[in-house]
Amino acid sequence: MKKHISELMMACLLLVCFFVLSRQAAEVSNSMSQGGVKKNVIIVDPGHGGADPGMLGIGGLEEKRINLEVSLRLKKALENKGFTVVMTRDEDTGLYDESSNSKKSQDMQRRIAAINDTKPVLTVSVHQNSYQDAAVKGPQVFYFQHSAQGEKLAKIMQDSLNKGLGVERPRVAKGNTTYYLLKKSEGTLVIAECGFLTNPDEAALLQTEEYQEMVARALAEGVVTYLEQEGLMPLGNEKAI
């Protein structure tokens, strides 16, 4: 009798172990998609930084600072969704050696290396725009012209920005073949130009926490919508942001 009970308990224990291992294997499998892309990992790339201020707007407003503030908020919004977010920078620094004679080139190369090595499901590079006509404003998302997935992601994120920010004259996502990040990234990447620092109204808004939060939320909602449509949402990630 005791032997029978012991065997029964051992069988139950083996079944529990099998269930746990199977679930872990399923979770690992779910976190990956074709080509080793990590479905649960997103890269957020705050453009410029350090010695590179990016675009200069009204009153000498530096793009790099706005990029970082919006990116940190986007990181938080995506993490609240259950994603793992990798930042290419999380402070006012560039991805270059101080001794480098070509800081800009090294910075861009290291951003691409980080993206290609990490293999995220997608990358959002956060930037701000400028133009000689101060009346020009509005967010715009760029994608590599020969990337079908990049185009789909950009269009969805553009729509999310237009709606989330209540844009009066909505722009459309735009294909590009010259931007270094778009050309060199092995995965799906878009460049989100959140607004024009040369437009007085938009520049003022982009410096407020409230508007930065609105931009970050719109970007995050666009990411989630794209992943849902592509069937790439990892298990356990809730729908609402």
Closest CA to 154 of 129, 182, 169, 173: 173
For 223-234, what is each residue's pLDDT tens digit? 999 999 999 987
Query: What is each CA distance from 85 to 61, 71, 169, in whole angstroms?
Result: 27, 10, 32
Rounded to the nearest angstrom, the gap between the alpha carbon of residue 114 and the centroid of all alpha carbons in its chain is 13
For 174-208, what is each residue's pLDDT tens digit? 999 999 999 999 999 999 999 999 999 999 999 99
For 43-80, what is each residue's pLDDT tens digit? 999 999 999 999 999 999 999 999 999 999 999 999 99
**What is the rounded CA–CA span in Å between residue 157 and residue 150?**
10
Gyration radius (Cα) of the chain, Å = 22
Report which of residues 238 and 166 the model is more confident about. 166
Return the domain boundaries, the chain. 1-30, 34-229
Beta bridge partners of 43: 86, 123
Q: pTM score, two decimals?
A: 0.84
CATH topology for 34-229?
A: Aminopeptidase (3.40.630)
**What is the rounded CA–CA span in Å between residue 139 and residue 45?**
17
Bridge pairing between strands 120-129 and 84-87: unpaired
For 156-180, what is each residue's pLDDT tens digit? 999 999 999 999 999 999 999 999 9
DSSP H or E segment with residue 120: strand 120-129
Beta bridge partners of 49: 52
**What is the rounded CA–CA span in Å between residue 189 and residue 238?**
23
Q: The tokens of 187 are what?
A: 């995965």
Confidence of residue 21 (pLDDT cuts 50, 70, 90): very low
For 70-125, what is each residue's pLDDT tens digit? 999 999 999 999 999 999 999 999 999 999 999 999 999 999 999 999 999 999 99
> Starting at the edge strand that comes first in sequence, how are the strands of the sheet with 120-129 ordered?
84-87, 38-46, 120-129, 189-196, 140-144, 174-176
Q: Is the dihedral of CA 131, 136, 140, 144 positive or negative?
A: negative
